Amino acid sequence: MNDIRQQDATALRTELLAGTISPLEALGRTIERFNAWNPIINAIIHPRLDQALHQATQVDLNQGALAGVPIAVKDLGCEQAGEPFHCGTSFLRNLNWKSSYNSYLWSSLETAGAISIGRTNTPEFGSTITTEPTAYGATRNPHEIKYSAGGSSGGSAAAVAAGIVPIAHGNDGGGSLRIPASACGLIGLKPSRGTVSAGPTKSEHRHGLGIDGVLTKTVRDTGLALDVISGLRYGDYVTTELPIASYSKLLAADPGSQKIAIATFSAHPACVDAVNKTASLLEGLGHQITADKNPPEWFSDDVTDQTIVLRTIGMAQELYRWGEEIGRPITQEDVEPSNWWSAELGNTLPGTMYVAAQNWLHHWSRRTSSFWNDFDLLITPVLGSLTPTIGLLSNPETGQQQLRELIGFVDQANVTGQPAISVPVGEHKGLPIGVQIIAARGHDALLLQIAQQLEDSEAFTTLSNEL
């Protein structure tokens, strides 16, 4: 575990401030890892190494909490003025489209002194849980390249797991931080809704389902990054009260004895074993464990059906918006078949169905909220089965059924807006397995404290040390 901590952003900042390494030398190490790994795993699709080298010569180490730290940015959200913005699509790649403005998120990272080495691969519009866009090809898992790095933040996860960067931006509208974290043996926190601003051009991500975050190797790096990117901005549609102290400081606090429920439903035995291992460890740390307990209706198929309404209408709106941006309608030839099908379905659904779906999901969230009067945390698998191989979900005959079996544990926290974290406590045949921990909304710090306890207990899978 100490080996991992020696590689993280927090340790790098200590070296930089002590003068034992310069920003240019730190970036040189990053570039070495990039050259060794990126041709194999296809994580960073828009490298900006020359610009990063120039920035490294100009760093003021007192500028902010990430000054001199190399990072990567997912090519979906986190817009950077003048940088490519393709969202995994062929039509934006062909136009060499670049963002015209900085998102609030990137402004926060840039103000903190982070040095972006490039933008990472993502499935087209981030619409699935593996990263295999037609436009840029598959991102492979650094632990075993025939397997996926997950999605939709798969490029970012692969970049961190391979040790190219210690921190990478991602976002999560349906497990898109937690799933690649599980696949690659990382920490992936989906913050509470309203913790990270979606501005300036959006009021919220993915109809309230999505939010930005980061992928890291250590809990302390997640806290460090969350301190940088969290905060309310004028005009934010949904907000969540932040803790008085920083997340980094709260990591050292004792969370006390928490009441924790465990739900594994019908997951793969290896995923169940990882959950049970986590529960046993936490029980040994003084927490109270209740098995086979979950919020009411938590695994209802109706949740999936209602989120499909939001996502298909959302895809139709996305294609319409991009048509307005590029000055012509988006056609079937411009996008992948699954997203075209989704948009076509969305175009047939009336606006009343969209409003009804939102209302249903709001009421469902209220009905599940009683659970959090009795329990502080819920632990589940991240995925219902093992990390898929490259190409598994694109099989037209079996892909959709495989997808439904995999994602039954992640959407719920996107709907409720609760924080959820994937921690790497399991493995199966050399591949990491993450376990998901969910807290009540606004209790992100509690998740980090529990994850820190697991990390300190040497529970984390250390496969990443072998890369």
Q: What pLDDT score was predicted for residue 1? A: 47
Are 222 and 65 contacting, i.e. CB atoms less than 8 angstroms apart?
no
Active site residue 365: no
Instruction: Out of 74, 127, 192, 422, pick the active-site residue.
Output: 74
Query: What average pLDDT does the chain have?
Result: 95
Q: How many CA atoms lie within 13 A of 243 on its CB side?
A: 21
Residue 351, helix vs strand vs coil: helix
Instruction: Out of 108, 116, 152, 197, pick the active-site residue.
Output: 152
Active site residue 152: yes
Beta strands in 44-102 (DSSP E): 44-47, 70-74
Q: State yes or no: pLDDT of 31 exceeds 90.
A: yes
Q: C-alpha angle with apex 419: 418 to 425, nearest 5 degrees?
A: 135
- Alpha helix stretches (DSSP H) within 195-300: 219-229, 247-250, 269-284
Q: Provide the pLDDT confidence category of residue 13 given band limits of 50, 70 and 90.
A: very high
Q: How far is CA 385 from the centre of its chain?
A: 19
Q: Provide the pLDDT confidence category of residue 207 given band limits of 50, 70 and 90.
A: confident
**DSSP assigned state of 212:** E
Residues in the chain: 467
More confident residue, 36 or 467: 36
**Is the pTM of the predicted complex or chain greater than 0.75?**
yes
Q: How many CB atoms lie within 10 A of CB 374?
A: 11
- Determine if residue 96 is left, alpha or beta; phi over 0 gives left, psi from -120 to 50 gives alpha, anything else beta: left
Q: Provide the pLDDT confidence category of residue 396 given band limits of 50, 70 and 90.
A: low
Distances (CA, A) of 389 to 51, 152, 266, 460: 35, 15, 21, 23
Kindly state the average pLDDT of the residues 115-138: 98
Kindly state the average pLDDT of the residues 374-388: 97
Gap between the Cα atoms of 119 and 84, Å rounded: 8
Closest CA to 150 of 171, 124, 132: 132
Greatest extent of the chain over all pairs of C-alpha atoms, in Å: 61
Instruction: Out of 153, 176, 182, 394, pick the active-site residue.
Output: 176
Q: What percent of the chain has pLDDT over 90?
A: 89
Q: How many CA atoms lie within 13 A of 295 on its CB side?
A: 27
Q: How many CB atoms lie within 10 A of CB 24?
A: 13
Q: What percent of the chain has pLDDT over 70?
A: 98
Residue 207, helix vs strand vs coil: helix
Structure tokens at 392: 């598994």
ω into 457 cis (within 30 of 0): no
Q: What pLDDT score was predicted for residue 2? A: 52
Q: State yes or no: pLDDT of 78 exceeds 90.
A: yes
Kindly state the average pLDDT of the residues 279-301: 97
Active site residue 74: yes
